[in-house]
Structure 1
Amino acid sequence: MFTRGSLTSTILSLMLILILLSSSLAVFSIVNLTFSLGDAKGINASGSLRMQSYRLLLYTNAGSSNTDEKITAFENTLSSEALKRSLQWYSPKELRDQYLLVIDKWQVMRVYIEEGNTRLYSASLTDFVDTIDTLVLKMELFAAFKLKLLVIGQIIGLSILLVIAFFAVVFTRKRVVKPLQLLMDSAATISKGNFKVEMPKTGYIELTALGNALQKTAAELAHLYGDLENQVNEKTLALTRANNELKFLYDNLVMLHADKLDYKALQSAINQLKYYEDLTFLRLVVEHEDGSKDVIKAEGGWPDALPTKSVQFPLLIENTQMGYLDVISNKPLNKLLFENFAMMLTRSITIHNASEQRQQLALLEERAVIARELHDSIGQLLSFLKIQVSLLRKSLDYSCRNPEVEGQLTEINEGVSTAYVQLRELLSTFRLTIKEPNLSQAIEVMLDQLRHQTNINIQLKYKLSVHLLEAKQHIHILQLIREATLNAIKHANPAHIVVDCQLTDNGMITITICDDGIGVTHLAERDQHFGIGIMHERANKLNGIVSFNSNQLGGTTVTLSFPPQQEPLNG
């Protein structure tokens, strides 16, 4: 922008002009007054010349001896400084000429007086006095001219001062006050938070610098304000997102702990995570202590060929990995959310496992109490009945004995013996001492007890996930496996027995007890025995069935099939 110059220089120039003009007027007035100081004295002196001319005529006619003194006095007045000023350079030519004319005529008049020629003096006196009057008039006119000149100078000076003052006021209002008012309005606008203001255009360096400084300050404030707004918006978005994430985690935590934790709940949780973060693929892999894994896939499944590398978030607790979240996404991942979600799943699974373990331990303790009660009550009663049957047989008179009675006594004795054996087996199962409260450990402990009673090779193949079975199902499975294994040991004469526990492709839990003994003939002989019936009852309580089949290479397979406590996983 074009700048005219400094505002202070312009104002200083105006002030100097005003000072110079005022000074000039003062100097002009002083000079004029100086030149006018002797005007009155000169007029008075010229006026006295007329009187002295008439006195000379009077003294001459009277023949007075004072005539020479009056002549001297007349000449002194005529040559006084008051009248000689008429010869100065600033006096008009007519005034100078008139003064010289008076002097010339006085020389003639003086000759007349010295000669005593009163007649000629009297005849010339009127003309001489008229010449003096003319001199007086010229002097008065010159004095009046100087006064007029002073007045005109003052009027012109004052007019110029007024014009300059008016121009200065207009200039100040237009070039200074108005831009300053606009700057103040801009400052007020900035103070209200509106930093997009245009500074007024001005042609002066100071106002331009002030406007530029205010414009720069406004721009910097706008930048800072914009940055603060962006930071506030970012913080607000971050807090909103954090709040939403906390709500999301809290809702899932409530859902996972609202009811019994199962894999349906875990799948529901990862489904919510997938839709919340708009993920491409998501799955949860749960690792078990035996090395097996369960895979829970979110809706949409999991690709066989990964389009991109997946990101894993481990489920860690006390340096123990319980599994991981496997994520495939086309967008950047919110790692903190996934880590917190993985931590939540880890704690939920840990709490669930601990609860299951406490429940199983409670069941084991309860069974131990029941075992003691059964041993102290029913066990002793069965022993007493067995002794009573033996005593009854010995004390029975021979006349009362017949095949029918003997058969009944034998059946009663076998029934009591069988009940006692079943009770002992039940007590053995109830009294199992296991290190970990899970079905695999319990079966292994139970089979280990049987291994000490026989030379048969007994193997266990356990491939079931913990989540598929409830603690209350364990006792039925244990008793059924024990019953089938004992039947094989006692009646099938096998060399090997294999207990296989797995989840079949049709989603059913299948437990098989396979031996290489003599086949199902021993079972046919015992089909009416209530031990087999108890096995069917236990299968019914598991909502399953138990079957007995012959193997192609010899031996028998007892198969227990029942549904899991929840839907199996496709992992």
Structure 2
Amino acid sequence: MLNRIRQSIVYRIGTLMLLTVLVALSSMVASYIISDAAENDAAAVNLAGSLRAMSYRLSAIAPSGDLAATRDLADEVAQRLAKVLSISDFSASDNLRAARHYNKVMHSWEQEIRPLLESIAASHTAMDSQQLANRLEPFITDVDTLVFDYQTIAEEKINLLRLVQLGSLFATVVLVYLSLYILHRSVEQPLKLLTNRSLSIAQGNFHQPPLEIDSEDELGVLARTINNMSDEIHATHRDLAHRVELKTAQLQKSHEALDFQYRLARRISEGPLPGTELGQWLGEFANVAGLENLDLCLMTPEGEAPYEHLVEGLGNEYCSGSECRMCVNTCGPSEEGESRVYRFPLEVDKRNYGVLMCSLPRGDSLDEEPQQRLGTFADSVTAAIAINEREAQDRRVALLDERAIIARELHDSLAQSLSYLKIQVTRLNRANRRDQVDRVAVEEIIAELKEGLDASYRQLRELLTTFRLQVGPGGLRGILEQSILAYREQHPQISILLDYHLDEVPLTPHEEIHLLQLVREASQNAVYHSQGDRVEISLTQADNHALKVCIRDNGIGISNAPEKRNHFGMSIMQERASNLNGKLQIRRREEGGTEVQFHFVPHYARERELVWREAV
């Protein structure tokens, strides 16, 4: 019981409340019992007090000789004496003071007073009122004593009731005070401490002195729990703060690494990386990655030794710089003497361009993240070298294509003119060897030679103009307008019109070049060979995104044998059409002249159609 009171504040408060209730109930029960016992005391006092008055009345009636009245009044006195006994808290046999006085009064009444009164009323005994009153004086004194006894009993009950109520009040006050004291000490103060600590914890202050609540009740258990929780949260918070600092530092390093990779990728996209600049990037990567000893060996795919060896820090002390094929073909970590070396080959499409090495003291190792950064840097360097190689190859191919174009243009223009001039020179030699020189024939041949030279010079100028043309900011439309302007200056008698509707069509450089050359070839043939005075050039787009190019003239029209080699540059235009996967048509117009039509689907439209098919 005591353990439960000590260990449970609820049980403690419940016990105090139960004691308070018991005191209140006891007080009420005792008050009820005492009040119930004192219920007839006032009636008994009144009845006993009325006996004195009736005794005085009998002393006045009996000497008058009225026997009936005397008997009636005597019976009423007897009845009242019996009623006093019936409402008293004692019986006639009790040995109480009041019981003895009652028996004395009863005995005096029955044995002396009543017989005397009846005898005087019956005139058997002569006695006047004064004498009778003197005779009744002892009886009346006994009645007064009995009345006093009843009054004393009532007062004792009232005093007892007062004592019970005072005791109950005192016990209640003591219990209430004790309850308030226990609540203040065991509940209010601990709750105040717990509330303040909870507010501090809510504000994030976990590092505080422990709560000094040593009780074994619920609040003590709660205080110890909060102390342990606060210590654990503080330790966890400190650990999380440390981990956040570490993660922040890692994120900062990752941000620096990403920024480095972004700048490197942007630089790679801008153009080739020379060896000196690549060495600067290697040094910056070493600072960003926190690595000291790095080697970057660059090799040709066919070479056995690096043509460039870039070192950051001390590098690999066991690297001899020759016969690197074994080093290039080795991937991952390896133990070499007092060092641990990580190798990352610069390889793409089964072509190896060298190796990136990181040297550490023996026993040390790289985590996964530094290895990923090394691999990413190696891939970036590989991509830069591969892009440079592809760009060089593209330049070679473009140079060869350009030379092939020049050769084709020379063959289709100057070569034919020179062949024609050669034939004319042969004719001139034959005419000159004859015995009689035909001056008219010689002059005709010389005129034709002069005309052929003029034509060759004109063709040479046109070829130079063609080779100098570049697709500038104005795009295909701008270069076409420049070409037409040149034609108009050279041939003012010919009206050349351009109908261009491809402003919203994204063409690749490859498509622009071939489309430009095809339009120039067809318009050049129309200008020089059609013998007309009007050339119309139109570039439009059909509903299926295909491009339509049409060049019309109002000249003499194409010959009946258009398949003749190099006639109107057909072979050249056919080749360009095949490069664009298009269809070329050359026909004679019914109203006169020649029409060249070319249809092809540009690259962006083919990609869109492919994506649409895949979605379907």
TM-score (structure 2 length as normaliser): 0.54
**What CA RMSD, in Å, does the superposition of the two structures yield over aligned residues?**
4.0
Asked if the contact 2:48/2:84 (under 8 Å) is kept, the reply is no
2:164 alignment partner AA: G
Shift of 1:27: 1.0
Q: Which moved more, 1:51-60 or 1:342-351?
A: 51-60
Q: How does 1:523-534 map to 2 (within 5 A)?
A: none
The structural deviation recorded for 1:26 is: 0.9
Between the aligned partners of 1:309 and 1:265, the Cα distance in structure 2 is: 28
Which segments of 5 or more consecutive residues in structure 2 lack a partner in the other structure? 319-335, 430-616
Who is 1:60 aligned against? 62
Report the equivalent of 1:185.
196
Hey, what does 1:303 align to over in structure 2?
317
With over 3 angstroms needed to count, the CA separation of the structure-2 counterparts of 1:191 and 1:174, relative to structure 1, is same
Aligned amino acid, residue 239 of structure 1: L
> For residues 185-230 of structure 1, what are the alpha-carbon distances to aligned partners after superposition, in whole Å with 9 as ceiling and x for unaligned?
3333333233445456262533234445555665676577667656
Alpha-carbon spacing, 1:78–1:341, altered in 2? closer, same or farther (3 Å): same
For residues 8 and 238 of structure 1, do their structure 2 counterparts lie closer, same or farther at Cα, with a shift above 3 Å needed?
A: same
In the alignment, is residue 50 of structure 1 matched against residue 61 of structure 2? no
8 Å CA contact retained: 1:3, 1:202:
no
Residue aligning to 2:151: 140
* 3-state SS in 1 of match to 2:379: helix
Q: Which residue of 2 aligns with 1:77?
A: 80
Q: Secondary structure at the match of 1:292?
A: coil
The amino acid of 1:39's aligned partner reads D
Per the normalisation by structure 1, the TM-score is: 0.58
With over 3 angstroms needed to count, the CA separation of the structure-2 counterparts of 1:10 and 1:89, relative to structure 1, is: farther
SS at 2:296 equivalent = strand
Q: Identity percentage over the alignment? A: 25
Return closer, same or farther for 1:54/1:253 CA change in 2, 3 Å cut-off: closer
Deviations 1:149-173 (A, max 9, x none): 2223223322321232232223223
**Residue aligning to 1:109:** 113
The residue correspondences of 1:179-328 to structure 2 (distance < 5 A) are 179-196=190-207, 198-199=210-211, 201=213, 203=215, 205-211=217-223, 214=226, 229=241, 232-253=244-265, 260-294=272-306, 295-299=308-312, 300-304=314-318, 306-328=337-359
Contact 2:5 2:11 in 1 (8 A): no
For 2:144 and 2:42, locate their aligned partners in 1 and report how far apart those are by CA, in whole Å.
Answer: 15
Q: Could you give the per-residue CA deviations for residues 401-436 of structure 1, whole angstroms, max 9, x where no partner exists? A: xxxxxxxxxxxxxxxxxxxxxxxxxxxxxxxxxxxx
Supply the distance in 2 between the matched residues of 1:166 and 1:186 (Cα, whole angstroms). 28
Is the partner of 1:193 in helix, strand or coil?
coil
- The separation in 1 between residues aligned to 2:229 and 2:402, in whole angstroms, is 82
CA–CA distance in structure 2, aligned partners of residues 89 and 216 of structure 1:
78
Q: CA deviation at 1:243?
A: 1.0
Aligned residue in 2 for 1:4? 6
Q: Hey, what does 2:478 align to over in structure 1?
A: none
The question of whether the paired residues in 2 share the 8 Å contact of 1:43 and 1:139 is answered with yes
Aligned ranges 1:119-518 → 2 under 5 Å:
119=127, 121-196=132-207, 198-199=210-211, 201=213, 203=215, 205-211=217-223, 214=226, 229=241, 232-253=244-265, 260-294=272-306, 295-299=308-312, 300-304=314-318, 306-330=337-361, 332-333=365-366, 334-362=370-398
The residue that corresponds to 1:37 in the other structure is 39
What SS is found at the alignment partner of 1:310?
A: strand
Query: What is the CA distance between 1:61 and its match in structure 2?
Result: 1.4
Alignment CA distance shift 1:202-1:88 (3 Å): farther
1:41 Cα deviation after fit: 1.3
CA gap 1:3/1:88 in 2 versus in 1, 3 angstroms = closer
Distance of 1:157 and 1:324 partners within structure 2? 102
Preserved CA contact (<8 Å) 2:92 2:103: no
| Counterpart secondary structure, 1:279 | coil
Matched residue type, 1:178: Q
- Change in Cα spacing, 1:90 to 1:265, as seen in structure 2 (3 Å) is farther
Q: C-alpha distance in 1, partners of 2:89/2:301?
A: 141
2:351 corresponds to which letter in structure 1?
T
- The 1:113–1:267 alpha-carbon spacing in structure 2 relative to 1, beyond 3 Å, is same
Q: Which has the higher contact order (CA 8 A, sep 6+)?
A: 1
Determine the C-alpha separation between the residues in 2 that align with 1:223 and 1:245: 33
Distance in 2 between residues matched to 1:366 and 1:34, nearest whole Å: 136
Q: Per-residue deviation at 1:130?
A: 1.8
Distance, in Å, in 2 between the alignment partners of 1:310 and 1:356 is: 33
